[in-house]
Amino acid sequence: MLKTIFSKIVVIFIAILLISTTITGAMLYFFLGNFASEEKVNLLNRTGESITDMLSDYVSFYYSYYNSSYFPFLHSAYWSNMESILNAHSKNTSSLIWIVSTDGQIRIMEGNQGIVNQIIENKLRDEDGNLRLQNPSQYMDVMSGNKSMVKEMGDFYGLFKETDVSWLTIEKPFIYDGEVLGAVYLHTPIPEVQRARSNVFKFFMFAVAVSIIISIILVYIFSLRLSRPLKKINSAAKHIANGEFNERLNINSEDEIGELARSFNNMAGALQNLENMRRGFIANVSHELRTPMTSIHGFIEGILDGTIPPQRQKEYLVIVRDEIKRLNRLTTDILDLARIEAGEVSVNPVDFNINELIRRCIIKLESFITEKDINIEAKFEEEVMYVKADIDSIERVIINLLHNAIKFVQPGGKIALSTSRIKSKILVCVEDNGIGIDSNEIDLIWERFYKSDKSRSEEKTGTGLGLAIVRNIINDHRQKIWVESQAGKGTRFYFTLDSGSNDENM
Q: What is the pLDDT of residues 348-367, one digit of tens each?
A: 899 999 999 999 999 988 88
106 within some domain = yes
For position 450, what pLDDT does the model report?
63
Q: What 3-state class would DSSP assign to 471?
A: helix
Nearest to 247 by CA among 229, 227, 230, 269: 269
In-domain check, residue 270: no
How far are the Cα atoms of 292, 361, 404, 469 from residue 337, in angstroms, in the given order?
21, 21, 18, 6
Query: What is this structure's pTM?
Result: 0.44
Together in a domain, 138 and 25 = yes
Return the closest-CA partner of residue 465 out of 293, 281, 199, 243. Answer: 281
Same domain, 24 and 137: yes
Assess whether 467 and 427 both reside in one domain. yes
Three-state helix/strand/coil letters over 62-116: HHHHCCCCCCHHHCHHHHHHHHHHHHHHHHHHCCEEEEEECCCEEEEEECCCCHH
Answer with the one of 180, 195, 210 that is the final residue of a domain.
195
> Domain check: are 21 and 84 in the same one?
yes
State the amino acid at position 326 in one-letter form.
R
- For residue 259, being part of any structural domain is answered with no
Are both 36 and 151 inside the same structural domain? yes
- State the pLDDT at residue 113: 62
Confidence of residue 449 (pLDDT cuts 50, 70, 90): low
Are both 355 and 336 inside the same structural domain? no
What value does the mean pLDDT of the chain take? 79
Percent of the chain with pLDDT over 70: 83
How many structural domains comprise the chain?
A: 3
Question: Is 320 inside any structural domain?
Answer: yes
Q: Tell me, what's the pLDDT at 421? A: 92
Q: What is the CATH number of the domain that holds 354?
A: 3.30.565.10
Domain-ending residue, one of 306, 322, 341 = 341
Let me know whether 364 and 468 are in one domain.
yes
Same domain, 117 and 138: yes
By residue range, what is the domain housing residue 399?
350-505
| pLDDT tens digit sequence for 67-87 | 544 445 545 555 666 778 888
Residue 15 lies in a domain: yes
Q: Distances from the Cα of 74 to the Cαs of 107, 116, 406, in angstroms?
A: 9, 27, 113
d(CA 433, CA 371): 17
The reply to whether 337 and 449 lie within a common domain is no
Of 318, 341, 364, the one marking the end of a domain is: 341
Q: What is the pLDDT of residue 430?
A: 93
Here the CATH number for the domain that contains residue 303 is: 1.10.287.130
| 205-247: pLDDT as tens digits | 787 788 778 877 877 777 777 777 777 888 888 888 887 777 7
Residue 76 domain-assigned (yes or no): yes
Return the bridge partners of 494, or none.
429, 482
In a domain, 243, yes or no: no
